[in-house]
């Protein structure tokens, strides 16, 4: 049964009023999964249409977060595995959406978000890499609202790259492997991840009903709360987001109480 919009809006307002600002996550990460399945469920012959709706829906997520004062958002746009295994036509369509909707809109003067990138840009088309790098440069002066786009990304690869970077930095400083092995800490590796200057996520949401991280922020997820939603990403509603925040706040409250 379809819920009337008035009832839906009233429920969303009630959920938001009940959120404790002191228990909101500082950083929300979202694996935006289910674009193609959503398109099929809506009767579209071309499942790739879901990528456009999914890209458009990022605007809603950012507005929700900005309205609540959540200043850090990370979105999983495309994994390195997806880019390698999906058909060339689908990948080209997805990358066009990233260029035309994500990168282009972020550069608009009224947009408050500063763009950061996580992943290997050598796995995406040159035009996409240029568009994203241009958006990074165009938004570098902004502060207070930070969006990280994980594209061509793999969490295991990020850890490998971080360790490699740490070893290279040690060698450049004249240090040896034995000395490094004796004193290396989690903080040393953390300082070499893709977005080391940004905080890790407090809450990771995955849509589409899947109950796994699929190599999304593996290192950073160690202390994060996880939320899995059965709704496909283009159909992920404001109330779904608010429910995830409500559950996060309840778990944080219990943790603070020592339960």
| Residue among 60, 81, 82, 111 flagged as catalytic | 82
3-state secondary structure of 140: coil
Angstrom distance (rounded) from CA 119 to CA 79: 8
Q: 97 and 51 in contact (C-beta within 8 Å)?
A: yes
pTM confidence score: 0.94
pLDDT bin (cut points 50, 70, 90) of residue 2 is low
Percent of the chain with pLDDT over 90: 90
**Active-site residue 35, yes or no?**
no
Q: How far apart are CA 258 and CA 237, in angstroms?
A: 32
| CA-based end-to-end distance of the chain | 38
Tell me which of 33, 35, 111, 154 is the catalytic residue.
Answer: 33
Tell me the C-alpha distance between 228 and 248, whole Å: 12
pLDDT at position 3: 64
Query: What is the tens place of the pLDDT at every residue in 47-60?
Result: 889 999 999 999 99
33 flagged as catalytic = yes
Judge whether 114 and 139 are in contact, CB under 8 Å.
Answer: yes
**pLDDT at residue 121, rounded to an integer:** 96
The token pair that represents 50 in the structure block: 């879901």
pLDDT tens column, 65-82 = 999 999 999 999 999 999
Tell me which residue has tokens 């458009």.
Answer: 56
With cut-offs at 50, 70 and 90, classify the pLDDT of residue 99.
very high
């Amino acid at each position: 049964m379809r819920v009337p919009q008035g009832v839906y809006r009233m429920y969303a307002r009630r959920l938001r009023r009940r959120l404790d600002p002191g228990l909101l996550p500082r950083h929300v990460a979202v694996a935006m999964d289910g674009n193609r399945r959503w398109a099929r469920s809506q009767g579209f012959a071309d499942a790739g249409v879901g990528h456009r709706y999914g890209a458009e829906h990022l605007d809603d997520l950012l507005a929700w977060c900005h309205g609540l004062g959540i200043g850090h958002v990370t979105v999983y746009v495309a994994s390195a595995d997806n880019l390698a295994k999906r058909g060339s036509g689908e990948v080209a369509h997805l990358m066009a959406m990233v260029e035309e909707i994500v990168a282009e809109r972020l550069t608009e003067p009224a947009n408050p978000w500063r763009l950061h990138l996580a992943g290997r840009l050598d796995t995406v088309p040159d035009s996409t890499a240029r568009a994203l790098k241009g958006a990074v440069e165009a938004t570098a002066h902004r502060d207070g609202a930070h969006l990280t786009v994980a594209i061509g990304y793999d969490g295991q690869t990020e850890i490998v790259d971080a360790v490699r970077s740490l070893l290279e930095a040690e060698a450049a400083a004249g240090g040896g492997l034995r000395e490094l092995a004796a004193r290396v800490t989690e903080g040393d590796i953390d300082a070499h991840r893709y977005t080391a200057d940004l905080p890790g996520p407090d809450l990771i949401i995955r849509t589409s009903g899947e109950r796994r991280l699929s190599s999304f922020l593996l290192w950073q997820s160690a202390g994060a709360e996880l939320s899995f939603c059965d709704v496909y990403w283009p159909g992920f509603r404001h109330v779904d987001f608010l429910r995830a925040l409500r559950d996060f706040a309840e778990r944080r409250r219990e943790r603070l109480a020592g339960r």
